[in-house]
Structure formats: C-alpha cells, structure tokens
Structure 1
Amino acid sequence: MKMAINRVTIMGNLTRDAELRKKGDAASVLTFGLAINEKKKDSETGEYVDAPVFVDCALFGARAEALAPYLTKGKKVSVDGRLRYHSWMKNEEKRHALSVLVTDIEFADSKGAGKDTVSAQGQSTEPETYDADIPF
C-alpha cells in the first residue's frame, strides 16, 4: 500500500487579526487568514502582476491561546500544516472549503532584512573570525 502525503508550507501576510474561540472544555481554536501573492502574467498587458491567493488557517490548543495576541493583520508568517476539506449547509446550499490545520508557525517579518541578525541581548549572532591565529 502506498502512503499519501498531506503536508503544506506557505508564507504570507495575515488578512485579519486572528480570532480565538473556545467552547466549554473543548480545545481552543485560533483562526486566521493568509494572503499569498503569486506572480501571474496579465493576458492584456503581458506584464507580471501580483495575484493574491487567500488561505484559511486554524491552530488548536495552548499554542493557539499563547499566539493569539501576536497574530495581527499584516504580520508575515510561515506556516506548516496539513490540508483539511470540510463541508456544511448554509441556506439549504452545501458549501465546501479547504483550509490548513497548522502544526508549526514562525514569524517572518522582513524588518531589518539584509542586515546582520541581532540577538535579544543586542549582540551579533554572526561568528567572529580569528584569522591571525591560523598558522599559515
């Protein structure tokens, strides 16, 4: 039997502030949307333009509660997870959606991009080199 793989990694900007919900004793769920810009060739002008793709995401449990205040509109994040298909009825019409169940999330804001990485103590994380000690 062949294995199926359900894994996705995406990076984008939050389209809205994350919303934390908890019902009774159930695990907390944090939902948010991501916008990912793809380059697409405009058929009329021949130029490449940004074409946004919108993805709904959900994170569960204690991490959802801890991250809720930090996941605000416009923040750039990278998420790993798996795809989930679900359907429901609304106004006697069956609806469908594909979303990402988040297993890992990293903040990816580009502030200071291209500069040396600085740790929380204010020191560079780049290793120092001591070429004078090399005997050749």
Structure 2
Amino acid sequence: MSINRVTISGNLTRDADLRSTQGGMAIMGFGVAVNDRRKNQQTGEWEDYPNFVDCTMFGTRAEKLQPYMTKGTKVAIEGKLRYSSWEHEGQRRSKLEVIVDEIEFMSSRQQDAPQQYAPQGYQNPPAVPQQPRQAPAPAPQAYAPQAAPQPVVAAAPQQASLYDEEIPF
C-alpha cells in the first residue's frame, strides 16, 4: 500500500497560465515557492532556502480560478505527486509536479479572490447586489405629555469570597 498526498503552502512564483487539450479540457499551470529553514554552519544563523514546486490543475475549476492566480499570492494546496519523463534533443528529462485537488487562498491582498474553490459540479448562487438600506420614516404620532423617565440604579452584585468555608473541597 502507498499513499500519494502532499500539502504545501507558499507564494505563487508567476501568474498562472491556462491552456486546453484538444478535447477542450482546461489545464492551468503555476509554480509555488516553499521555504525551507536551515542553520548556516558558518554564521550560526537560520536562513530560508526556497524550493520551487510546479503545480497543475485541471477542468472547470482551473478556468474559474485562473484570474485570481497572480504572482505573489499566498496559497495552500493539497494534491498528489506525479512524475513525468520525456526525451528532448537527445537528453532524458523528468520532473515531479503536484496535481492540485484543493486550493485555498491565504493572501489578504486580493479582496475579491475566493477563499476556497467550490467542489466540482457545485454551482455558486449568483451574487445579489446589496442595496443601501434606508431608515424608515418615523410615523406621525399624536402629542401626549409623558412623565420624565426615572434613572434606574442597579445594585452592585454581591461577590462571594473565594475562600468561603462552604466550598466542599
């Protein structure tokens, strides 16, 4: 038995690119920078070393999320690893990428970005524009003299001592 799951969070290294297969399925590619902290042996200081991870998302979700996937956006993704190898100009090439199943936006700088994608097949209800609310006009009332309201004086609550002898422990 093997488990192929990965969860990472980091910043997008570039704007996401969207392309499609001959069959019309959308494919969105993007990169995520994930920092690794290591102690420098010479200085004794902790330093961040970036790791760059290629990510791919498929389908309608890729089309809908692509406008929000801009360089520098902080995201958390969950998915599975996929290994690909090919030959280019006589050289053997390979890469390990994350096939994204879930994505959550963690940046606060994009106010209109969704916080989490909707599962496939889920239709978000259309947004209804909010109309500014107006206070209702006061209804006309007949004038009737009333007595002035009396101030309410509340008595201070009695505080029991923490060291009461009635505490059973």
Instruction: Mark yes or no: TM-score above 0.5.
Output: yes
Cα distance in structure 1, aligned partners of 2:49 and 2:101: 26
Question: Pairwise CA RMSD of aligned residues?
Answer: 1.4
Paired residue type of 1:109: S
In the alignment, structure 1 segments of 5+ residues that lack a partner are: 112-120, 122-136
Matching residue of 1:72: 70
Cα distance in structure 1, aligned partners of 2:40 and 2:98: 29
Which digits, 9 at most, give the CA deviation of each residue in 1:77-122, with x for residues without a partner?
00000000000111110011100000000001156xxxxxxxxx9x
Greater share of strand: 1
In the alignment, structure 2 segments of 5+ residues that lack a partner are: 110-129, 131-169
Matching residue of 2:23: 25
Matched, 1:85 2:83: yes
Cα distance in structure 2, aligned partners of 1:61 and 1:28: 5
Matching residue of 2:4: 6
Cα distance in structure 2, aligned partners of 1:26 and 1:93: 31
**Under a length normalisation based on structure 1, what TM-score does the superposition of the two structures give?**
0.77
- Residue 34 of structure 1 deviates from its aligned partner by 0.3
**Under a length normalisation based on structure 2, what TM-score does the superposition of the two structures give?**
0.62
Cα distance in structure 2, aligned partners of 1:50 and 1:88: 32
- Residue 23 of structure 1 deviates from its aligned partner by 2.9
- Residue 26 of structure 1 deviates from its aligned partner by 3.6
Matching residue of 1:127: none
Task: List, as ranges, runs of 4+ consecutive aligned residues in structure 1 with deviation greater than 3 Å.
Answer: none
Cα distance in structure 1, aligned partners of 2:77 and 2:54: 11
Q: How does 1:1-136 map to 2 (within 5 A)?
A: 3-109=1-107
Cα distance in structure 1, aligned partners of 2:24 and 2:86: 20
**Closer/same/farther in 2, CA of residues 103 and 53 from structure 1, 3 Å limit:** same
- Residue 25 of structure 1 deviates from its aligned partner by 1.9
Cα distance in structure 2, aligned partners of 1:26 and 1:44: 54
User: Which structure exhibits the higher relative contact order, with contacts defined as CA atoms closer than 8 Å and separated by 6 or more residues?
Assistant: 1
Q: Secondary structure at the match of 2:62?
A: helix
Matching residue of 2:151: none
Give the number of aligned pairs. 110
Compare CA radii of gyration and give the structure with the larger one.
2
